[in-house]
């Protein structure tokens, strides 16, 4: 009984319902949307954002943010192709992508956790630095289909039981991370840190180590996601991943990962990613001009924040704990 | 009450000659504290006496520069907060330190979650915290999030947390400061139970009546050193106060003879749905007018509405015969009303800004030329008030957050007094500040009233209300229960009105 009430009370529920509504509208307006091909299109499109949203969730629940992921995933997707083309093979490329991801994550994490610099600024800097290094490295070159490791290309093209492998990779990451965030002590600490940073110190939580760890983890996930991106597009250039971080953060926020920290789940972020993607497709299916899509998604982000605010204000705030803005 | 353990057994905690400096400031010089199992021990002293620093050394927040700490016969490892928790120290801080987004169960076990084959076991944590809550005699839902629960309940969760670590020493830093009298009673029952179960409870409070009602022994600190320790049964409130301030406190409520003038502030049939209804009163120049009642009786809401922070539904507020608009603090300010809020950290001060800036912020118009604030003028204005209020600080450029609670309150007061208001509204003017500063604040309010200022004071402390007010307006659940003149008021009458009884006249 409690499980059922919890399911309906969950913050993810309205996101899921919104998704159902969007799909229903699109399906009525254009039955082709509900076809297998239409669904696969959405699943394929959602994989990258879903994976990055998982990593970002680890960071946002701590009341931090990582803006460097778009530059980073673009760089590592280029790197995997380039390393393969130069004869280092698939594993050489993946190892390089992981190393770059870990390094950027560790640099972000060090500055935020130990030097106590604001993550918004640190990762904004990292966004430009990584993109700059990437542009210099790419130097006008592009990764073409011939330079993509065949295994990566295969995964990008094929399906298991009709479901794209890329989506399955994203889904398994969501399932594992969902379990981790709910059942692993260190991950629970991230929620505590985001909910009340000062109290986290007093409760004996190793705050700096946890913040560092979460940034490193996000860096590693993003670095490896370069392979997923390369498989999806079968190509890469110096503009790969440009502005992707904003879509990722939008997915998290729409999915109920509170930007003020302390609450939200990878499942929410995952649903948020699917919802944004479904809206994009729906707008196409309804024949509405594409530029409305961005405005619509923007409105959705604001709606999500307003909704969270409303949820919090419904709780009787007779104490000074009610405020998040201190 | 006789203490078996303090007569025989060895102490559970001994802190000897503990010293600690921050930069050049010596916060602890020679602090000593001895605790026995099964006692409630009061730690007393004015703000800035070093109580908090001593407790933070125990909590692992600060590391002492010198001294010895022995816990259960073994040297105490001073490391991190985690180390202290693991050695059996639990601290319940004055500022709430729960996690609003986490469930109560997880709050109890945070950092030490119960696990089952490596994974967090939610069912076990909920069961265990439910048992702890039952043991403490409260019905809290472990599954509920901590956001929005009352301060009293937050403390219960903290105490449950302490119990779950099997803490041998439980420190409570001013736990009653924000509680209603009913909640204080519940807390006392819990503390008595803890004591019977063999914990040593350190109880920090500025309310001596509570200390005498609850504690077995006490230690007094002054200027970073322990100046005395005694059995409560062998001392008196007067003696304790003398030890704390190091001098005789001649009069705690230095009320000057009032010079009552014309009506300044008139509140007529003020109502706000769900908060208060039909509130009418007049306040005259030179008068100290107290709003009394239990916590939650709507007193703060009324003064917020008068000042214009919240809108009211109906009624009127008139100052010198001119009606004030609802919901416009700026209009109230320029008309001559000032409000010193209850929660000074969140509403009254810019914690990271300098003392000078905080004092001068209400005067910006006066201190500026061509939109630019003149720093010299800002400083001289602040200096003047710092002297009047005997503020203790290193430099006017220091951020306010470095001041002690009492001195912070003085900064808030000076900030508003600097505007030379006709009506000063103060909400709990002396909550959480020490005896010495309290007297200074009272002296100041009394002085200002004698000079013709009308003072409206919300206070939950009966001695303060009885000692300071010329008239007492008692509220209960948002309605006016009765008004008492200074000469007819006594604690019994106020409490009778505040709890809904009728006074036989």
**Domain boundaries, position B268:** 256-336+421-505
The residues, ordered by sequence, that sit 6+ positions from B365 with a Cβ below 8 Å of its Cβ are none
Give the pLDDT confidence score for residue A321 in this predicted structure. 33
Buried b (16+ CB within 10 A) or exposed e, A118-152: ebeebbbbbbeebbeebbeebeeeebeeebbbeeb
What is the chain A residue with the closest CA to B119? A183
Q: How many residues does chain B have?
A: 505
B47 within some domain: yes
Do B455 and B320 have their domain in common?
yes
Q: Of the ranges A40-49, A308-317, B174-183, B362-371, which is most confident? A: A40-49
Do B211 and B159 have their domain in common?
yes
Give the pLDDT confidence score for residue B252 in this predicted structure. 60
A129 within some domain: yes
* Higher pLDDT pick, B249 / A303: A303
Q: Which tokens in the block code for residue B11?
A: 């102490």
| Pick from B85, B101, B149: CB nearest A191 | B101
Cα separation, B466 vs B472, in Å, equals 8
What pLDDT, in 10s, does the model give residues A225-278? 999 999 999 999 999 999 999 999 999 999 989 898 999 999 999 999 998 888
A202·B99 Cβ contact <8 A: no
Do B141 and B185 have their domain in common?
yes
User: Which residues does residue B484 pair with via DSSP β-bridges, in sequence order?
Assistant: B472
Do B205 and B274 have their domain in common?
no
Q: Return residues 241-260 of A near B (CB < 8 Å).
A: 258
Q: Return residues 170-189 of A near B (CB < 8 Å).
A: 182-185, 188-189
Do B459 and B375 have their domain in common?
no
Establish if A201 touches chain B: CB-CB under 8 angstroms. yes
Rounded average pLDDT per 10-residue block, chain B, 505 residues: 50 92 79 93 82 90 91 89 90 84 94 89 94 87 89 87 88 82 86 89 85 92 89 85 64 73 91 89 93 83 90 91 88 88 68 72 63 66 70 70 73 78 88 73 86 90 84 90 88 77 56
Q: Specify the CATH number for the domain of residue A117.
A: 1.10.3470
**What's the structural domain count of chain A?**
1
B230 within some domain: yes
Do B187 and B53 have their domain in common?
yes
Do B318 and B368 have their domain in common?
no
**Domain boundaries, position A43:** 2-307
**What's the structural domain count of chain B?**
3
Do B166 and B210 have their domain in common?
yes
Whether ipTM > 0.90 holds is: no
A202·B82 Cβ contact <8 A: no
Question: How far away is chain A from the Cα of B181, in angstroms, using its nearest Cα?
Answer: 17
A321 within some domain: no
Cα separation, B254 vs B448, in Å, equals 12
A188·B101 Cβ contact <8 A: no
What is the chain A residue with the closest CA to B82? A204
Most A-contacting residue of B99, B145, B146, B427 (CB-CB within 10 A), to test interface? B99
- Domain-terminating residue out of B198, B213, B245: B245
Orientation of helix A89-109 relative to helix A69-85, angle to 10° = 150
Give the pLDDT confidence score for residue A187 in this predicted structure. 95
Q: Which residues of B touch A (CB under 8 A)?
A: 59-61, 80-86, 91, 93, 95-102, 106, 110-111, 113, 115, 119-120, 143, 145-151, 154, 296, 343, 346
Residue pair B358/B403 in contact (Cβ under 8 Å)? The answer is: no
A312 within some domain: no
Mean pLDDT, chain A, integer? 88
| Pick from A188, A196, A263: CB nearest B98 | A196
| Pick from B81, B120, B296: CB nearest A185 | B120
User: Which residues does residue B74 pair with via DSSP β-bridges, in sequence order?
Assistant: B71
The residues, ordered by sequence, that sit 6+ positions from B487 with a Cβ below 8 Å of its Cβ are none
Question: How far away is chain B from the Cα of A317, in angstroms, using its nearest Cα?
Answer: 5
User: How would DSSP label each residue in B105-124?
Assistant: HHHHHTTS--EETTEE-HHH
Q: Specify the CATH number for the domain of residue B476.
A: 3.40.50.300
- Domain-terminating residue out of B388, B420, B452: B420
A191·B102 Cβ contact <8 A: yes
Do B194 and B107 have their domain in common?
yes
Question: How far away is chain A from the Cα of B118, in angstroms, using its nearest Cα?
Answer: 8
B202 within some domain: yes
B493 within some domain: yes
| Residue located via tokens 């300044």 | B264
Q: Which tokens in the block code for residue B162?
A: 């302490």
A317 within some domain: no
Angle at A107 between CA A104 and CA A110, to 5 degrees: 145
B250 within some domain: no
Give the pLDDT confidence score for residue B185 in this predicted structure. 87
A316 within some domain: no
Whole-prediction pTM: 0.74
Give the pLDDT confidence score for residue B40 in this predicted structure. 93
B342 within some domain: no
B99·A195 Cβ contact <8 A: yes
A74 within some domain: yes
Do B99 and B189 have their domain in common?
yes
B146·A184 Cβ contact <8 A: no
Find chain B residues with C-beta within 8 A of A189's C-beta: 111
Cα separation, B76 vs B13, in Å, equals 9
B101·A201 Cβ contact <8 A: no
Find chain A residues with C-beta within 8 A of B61's C-beta: 202
A324 within some domain: no
| Pick from B100, B148, B150: CB nearest A196 | B100
A188·B97 Cβ contact <8 A: no
Label each residue of B255-301 as H, E or C: CCCCCCCCEEEEEEEEEECCCEEEEEEEEECCCEEEEECCCCCCHHH
Do B493 and B372 have their domain in common?
no
Most A-contacting residue of B100, B124, B178 (CB-CB within 10 A), to test interface? B100
- Domain-terminating residue out of B379, B396, B420: B420
Do B104 and B192 have their domain in common?
yes
């Amino acid at each position: 009984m409690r499980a059922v009430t919890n399911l309906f009370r969950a913050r993810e529920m309205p996101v899921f319902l919104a998704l159902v509504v969007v799909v229903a509208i699109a399906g009525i307006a254009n039955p082709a949307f509900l076809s297998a091909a239409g669904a696969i299109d959405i699943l394929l499109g959602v994989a990258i954002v879903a994976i990055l949203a998982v990593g970002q969730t680890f960071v946002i629940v701590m009341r931090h943010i990582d803006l460097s992921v778009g530059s980073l995933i673009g760089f590592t997707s280029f790197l995997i192709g380039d390393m393969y083309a130069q004869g280092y093979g698939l594993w050489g490329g993946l190892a390089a992508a992981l190393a770059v991801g870990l390094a950027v994550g560790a640099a972000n994490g060090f500055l935020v956790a130990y030097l106590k610099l604001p993550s918004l600024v640190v990762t904004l800097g990292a966004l430009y630095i990584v993109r700059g290094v990437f542009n210099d490295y790419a130097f006008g070159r592009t990764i073409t289909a011939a330079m993509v490791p065949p295994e990566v290309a295969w995964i990008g093209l094929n399906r298991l039981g009709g479901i794209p492998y890329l989506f399955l990779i994203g889904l398994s990451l969501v399932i594992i991370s969902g379990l981790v965030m709910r059942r692993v002590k260190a991950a629970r600490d991230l929620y505590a840190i985001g909910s009340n940073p000062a109290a986290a110190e007093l409760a004996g939580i190793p705050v700096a180590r946890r913040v560092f760890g979460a940034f490193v983890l996000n860096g590693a996930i993003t670095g490896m996601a370069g392979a997923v991106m390369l498989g999806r597009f079968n190509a890469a250039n110096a503009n790969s991943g440009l502005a992707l971080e904003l879509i990722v953060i939008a997915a998290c926020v729409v999915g109920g990962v509170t930007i003020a920290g302390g609450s939200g789940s990878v499942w929410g972020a995952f649903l948020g990613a699917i919802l944004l993607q479904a809206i994009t497709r729906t707008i196409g299916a309804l024949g509405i001009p594409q530029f409305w899509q961005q405005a619509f998604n923007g409105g959705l982000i604001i709606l999500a924040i307003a909704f969270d605010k409303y949820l919090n204000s419904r709780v009787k705030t007779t104490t000074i704990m009610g405020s998040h803005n201190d | 009450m006789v203490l078996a353990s303090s007569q025989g057994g060895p102490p559970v905690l001994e802190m000897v000659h503990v010293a600690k400096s921050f930069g050049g400031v010596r916060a602890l010089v020679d602090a000593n504290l001895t605790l026995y199992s099964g006692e409630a021990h009061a730690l007393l002293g004015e703000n800035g006496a070093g109580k908090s620093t001593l407790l933070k050394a125990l909590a692992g927040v600060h590391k002492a520069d010198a001294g010895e700490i022995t816990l259960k016969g073994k040297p105490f490892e001073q490391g991190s907060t985690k180390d202290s928790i693991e050695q059996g120290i639990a601290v319940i801080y004055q500022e709430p330190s729960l996690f609003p987004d986490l469930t109560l169960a997880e709050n109890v076990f945070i950092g030490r979650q119960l696990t089952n084959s490596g994974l967090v076991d939610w069912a076990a944590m909920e069961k265990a915290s439910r048992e702890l809550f039952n043991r403490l005699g409260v019905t809290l839902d472990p599954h509920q999030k901590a956001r929005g629960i009352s301060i009293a309940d937050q403390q219960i969760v903290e105490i449950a947390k302490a119990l779950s670590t099997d803490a041998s020493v439980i420190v409570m830093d001013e736990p009653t400061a924000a509680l209603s009298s009913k909640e204080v009673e519940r807390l006392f029952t819990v503390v008595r139970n803890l004591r019977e179960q063999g914990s040593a409870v350190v109880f920090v409070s500025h309310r001596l009546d509570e200390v005498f009602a609850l504690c077995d022994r006490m230690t007094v600190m002054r200027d970073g050193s322990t100046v005395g320790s005694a059995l409560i049964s062998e001392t008196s409130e007067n003696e304790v106060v003398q030890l704390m301030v190091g001098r005789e406190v001649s009069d705690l409520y230095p009320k000057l003879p009032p010079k009552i003038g014309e009506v300044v502030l008139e509140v007529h049939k003020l109502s706000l749905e769900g908060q208060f209804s039909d509130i009418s009163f007049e306040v005259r120049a030179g008068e100290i007018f107290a709003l009394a009642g239990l916590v939650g009786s709507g007193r703060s809401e009324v003064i917020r509405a008068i000042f214009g922070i919240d809108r009211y539904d109906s009624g009127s507020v008139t100052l010198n015969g001119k009606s004030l608009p609802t919901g416009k603090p700026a209009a109230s300010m320029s008309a001559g009303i000032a409000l010193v809020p209850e929660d000074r950290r969140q509403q009254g001060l810019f914690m990271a800004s300098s003392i000078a800036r905080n004092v001068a912020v209400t005067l910006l118009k006066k201190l500026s030329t061509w939109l630019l604030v003149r720093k010299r003028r800002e400083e001289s204005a602040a200096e003047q008030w710092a002297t009047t209020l005997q503020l203790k600080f290193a430099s006017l450029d220091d951020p306010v957050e470095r001041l002690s609670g009492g001195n912070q309150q003085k900064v808030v007061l000076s900030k508003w007094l600097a505007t030379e208001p006709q009506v000063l509204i103060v909400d709990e003017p002396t909550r959480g500040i020490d005896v010495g500063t309290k007297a200074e604040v009272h002296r100041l309010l009394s002085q200002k009233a004698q000079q013709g200022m009308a003072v409206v004071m919300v206070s939950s402390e009966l001695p303060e209300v009885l000692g300071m007010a010329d008239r007492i307006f008692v509220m209960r659940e948002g309605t006016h229960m009765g008004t008492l003149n200074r000469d007819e008021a006594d604690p019994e009458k106020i409490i009778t009105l505040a709890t809904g009884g009728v006074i036989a006249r």
